Amino acid sequence: MSTLPVIAAVDGSDDSLRALDWALDAARRRRAPLRVVHVRQYAAWAQPDVLVAGPPAPDDDPVLDEVRERLADIAERPVVEYLALEGAPSAVLPELGATAELLVLGSRGRGGFASLLLGSNGMAAARDAECPVVVVPRPGREVHEDVAVAPGPRVVVGLKVDAPDEATLAFAHTEAALRGARLQVVAAYQWPLQAWAVPGEMVPPVIDQDAVEGETRTLAEGFLAPHHRRHPDVQVDLHAAPGDAAGHLVAASKDAELVVVGRHRRRLLTPIRMIGSVTQAVLLHAASPVAVVPPTAANG
């Protein structure tokens, strides 16, 4: 049993209630407590001559009351804690990741124009939280490309063979094991390769695509081997494919239980946290929930 909670961020919206249902299932699978958090924000810029009521008492929160009612009749629910906090959700939610196993939230919420795409809260949490962040999309996202996959539950993970992230692979294997799901590993490689030559120099010989794909598969299998030893019951399907990694992951998200992606590591010249273009594209377009795993997360 995990001692760290799975946190569900709620705000009363349908999107956050879908995230709550996902978090409840995740807590059950991990035998972890569920912490339901509502971050309440109040305008600090109110006019002096306008009477503004202060924040309600901690026990007076209609959003949490709705959640309590929703969970009241659920059998075999985990231990549930309710927490009301004040502040800006985009700042408060990432901080909660320091004491959580997972942070789960909806792809949109009550955030005005900032939530037209993914939402500022989801993007901030995925970028800054110290634990994996799961973003649950609205139903009905369409993925037009069909990918041939085996039937049954499936978790998808992206693997960049020139910069593999062990935390992401560990989380994906653990999640597949918890769900009794197959693990679909997508390893994209650049094709066609660009050959640059200074005028007067010979152009390098043509590289065969089959050779590039074979090398990609070989590298990927090497990175996956230690995780397979820890999770021998997880069936792994490795797909090495040319082109855009984000496009392949979005296509694979159709009917998937979860897509797992990594977050950029901090670099020497860019010490701020970055979410990465592939991860951002998957968050915006995947049909399934998406887990964003920080490089330092210890899973598996």
Question: pLDDT band at residue 270, thresholds of 50, 70 and 90?
Answer: very low
> pTM for the full model?
0.84
- Percent with pLDDT over 70 in the chain: 78
Question: pLDDT band at residue 195, thresholds of 50, 70 and 90?
Answer: low
What integer pLDDT is reported at residue 293 of this predicted model?
96
Question: pLDDT band at residue 274, thresholds of 50, 70 and 90?
Answer: low
Produce one character per residue of 26-35: b if its CB has 16 or more CB atoms within 10 Å, e if not: bbbbbebbbb
d(CA 128, CA 107): 16
d(CA 277, CA 280): 5
Most confident option among 186-200, 225-239, 262-276:
225-239
Produce one character per residue of 151-171: b if its CB has 16 or more CB atoms within 10 Å, e if not: eeebbbbbbbbeebbbbbbbb
pLDDT tens, position by position, 49-68 = 444 445 555 567 899 999 99
Most confident option among 37-51, 123-137, 184-198:
123-137
Is it true that 6-136 and 154-293 share their CATH fold? yes
CATH architecture type of domain 154-293: 3-Layer(aba) Sandwich (3.40)
Map out the domains of the chain as residue ranges: 6-136, 154-293
SS (H, E, C) 13-69: CHHHHHHHHHHHHHHHHHCCCEEEEEEECCCCCCCCCCCCCCCCCCCCCHHHHHHHH
Topology, domain 6-136? Rossmann fold (3.40.50)
Count of residues in the chain: 300
SS3 186: strand
Q: What share of the chain is helix, strand, coil (3-state, %, to 5)?
A: 35, 20, 45
- Is 105's pLDDT higher than 90? yes
